[in-house]
Structure 1
Amino acid sequence: MSPLLFAHWTWPDGLALLWMLVLWFVYGRFADHLPPDDVKPSNLNQMMHHLRRAWMRRMLDREERIIDSSLTGHSVSATTFFASTSMLIIAGLLGVLGNAGAAHDVIQSFGFVARSSVVLFEIQILGLVILFIVAFYKFTWALRQFNFACTLIGAAPAAPVEPALRDRFADHAARVMSLAVVSFNGGIRAYYFAMAWLGWFIHPIAFAATTSIVVLVLLKRQVKSRSQQSVAEYYDAAWR
């Protein structure tokens, strides 16, 4: 590695970046794991996977499935919006990177920002670009998987459906939809961590703190939010 590249790279910078990567990986493993049918879900995302399976079973009992296609279409529209937004953000960040010297001077004029080099500032901006590239790829893969789910809904067998085929279809259709949601959530998660990344412009300790706060907020929404409690109460009542 070039000494010039990391002329002002300190060990707090490295530790804060490592802390973010570790938390991103660990939280992703927790939030994105899809449990088997016989395992009780431990977070909101896992409960929603079981509910999607129930949704697909209910769908097979209906002759008209316009509402199911419409609900999936809303997810496609939201995913397309975020994918397009990610591209606009990437373009804006590349513009900042192209004029890093002037942007660095503006940031350094703030009294609460720690002193840093232009090279470190460019690395920080480049890191944001990478985060939004990850988000873009997550959203576009989610978009494709939602289209796969739409195809499965269109190809669903007509009612009445044999129980074995019903369960098999529901399992596979729900998994495709849940995998699409996992990709979508991964893109949204990149946005959250990009917000935490802004703390690095202030100080590495602020970066580590904002990353921790973001993960705590995400964890609370998964296991202790009012939405999670409402879904959990319905889940326990329906599958007791």
Structure 2
Amino acid sequence: MTFVWPDGSWMDALAFTWTLVLWFVYGRFADKLPPDEVAPGNLNQMMHQLRRIWMRRMLDRPERILDSALTGHSVSSTTFFASTSMLIMAGLLGVLGRAGDAHAVIQSFGFTVHSSELMFELKVLGLIGLFMIGFYKFTWALRQFNFACTLIGAAPLPPVEPGSGARFADHAARVMSLAVVSFNGGIRSYYFAMAWLGWFIHPMAFAAGTGIVVLVLLKRQVKSRSQASVAEYYEATGR
């Protein structure tokens, strides 16, 4: 039995494959946390090292109210995006329920490529899948932030032995960074969903949009003003 891509468009298949490749390649680059002794190669890795410094300095404070408040802010942001993902999925399911009408509206635009109703439904299902990935990423990030809150609550009080403090800071920072990795993965699904909308216009618009999204994300990781400021401070701390 031979699989036939709906509408028989090789451009659709190419654009979809291109997006999958960029999704996994960029995710591998942005989400990898290096060993603590390895110099960071992007903004996310620098932030991980700065979280280690944060956790070490927290141990010198008898009261950790500030640290708990900062972690709680991250929890609130993650909860907001998780809820928003659910609402978007509900809206897209509504579109899928009236796929015939929605498809007719899209096809009435003069700048969209012709596609079948089946292909339209697959594109909507793909969008739902992206936001579903985002939802699971956000909820896992939420749980990990809760783990980080527990670690902060269980942190040893000063004076702390140097070896014990360093171990705590390394583990607490890694748990928090893993939570941020999941959160970033959820945000990334929103960026890729914006590019996915180009597929309703033309497969090449979809492919180009995905490429632009990844270039923007790469620039923010290695060549943005925020990255430069964080790198400057990271170097000033003496690593």
Fold-level similarity (TM above 0.5): yes
Instruction: Kindly provide the CA deviation profile for residues 87-129 of structure 1, in whole angstroms up to 9, marking residues without a partner as x.
Output: 0000000000010000001111111110110000000000000
Is the 1:6–1:119 contact (alpha carbons within 8 Å) kept by the matching residues of 2?
no
Indicate if the aligned counterparts of 2:198 and 2:206 stay in contact, CA closer than 8 A: yes
Matched, 1:179 2:178: yes
**TM-aligned CA deviation for residue 9 of structure 1:** 3.7
> Helix, strand or coil: the match of 1:157?
coil
Question: Separation in 2 of the partners of 1:64 and 1:191?
Answer: 37
User: Under a length normalisation based on structure 2, what TM-score does the superposition of the two structures give?
Assistant: 0.98
C-alpha deviation, 1:82, in angstroms? 0.2
2:202 aligns to what?
Answer: 203
- Structure 1 vs Structure 2: percent identity of aligned residues? 77
**Match of residue 146 from structure 2:** 147
**Structure 2 equivalent of residue 33 of structure 1:** 32
Residue deviations 1:144-186, cap 9 Å, x none?
Answer: 0000000000000111100010000000000000000000000
- Give structure 1 stretches of 5+ with no counterpart: none
Shift of 1:36: 1.2
Which whole-Å CA distance do the structure 2 matches of 1:160 and 1:110 have between them?
A: 69
Q: How does 1:51-200 map to 2 (within 5 A)?
A: 51-200=50-199
Which amino acid letter does the alignment assign opposite residue 49 of structure 1?
A: H
Superposed structure 1 runs of 4+ greater than 4 Å apart: none
Cα distance change, pair 192–7 in 1 and its aligned pair in 2 (3 A): closer
Give me the whole-angstrom Cα distance separating, in 2, the residues matched to 1:183 and 1:197: 21
Secondary structure, in 3 states, of the residue corresponding to 2:37?
coil
AA in 1 matched with 2:189: A
| Secondary structure of residue in 2 paired with 1:8 | helix
Counterpart residue identity of residue 33, structure 1: K
Aligned in 2, Cα 1:180/1:106: closer, same or farther, shift over 3 Å?
A: same
Give unmatched runs, 5+ long, in structure 2: none
Displacement of 1:6 in angstroms is 3.7
For 1:158, what is the secondary structure of its paired residue? Answer: coil
Q: Do 1:6 and 1:120's aligned partners in 2 also have CA atoms closer than 8 Å?
A: no
1:215 and 2:217 matched = no
Q: Which moved more, 1:33-42 or 1:87-96?
A: 33-42
Structure 1 residue 37: Cα displacement: 1.8
One-letter code aligned to 2:91: G
Q: How many residues align?
A: 239
- The answer to whether the 8 Å contact 1:57/1:170 transfers is yes
TM-score (norm 1): 0.97
**1:237 Cα deviation from its structure 2 partner:** 1.3
Using the alignment, how far apart are the partners of 1:65 and 1:165 within structure 2?
18
1:38: Cα distance to partner? 1.6
- Call closer, same or farther: CA 1:7–1:169 in 2, change over 3 Å: closer
Q: CA deviation at 1:2?
A: 8.5
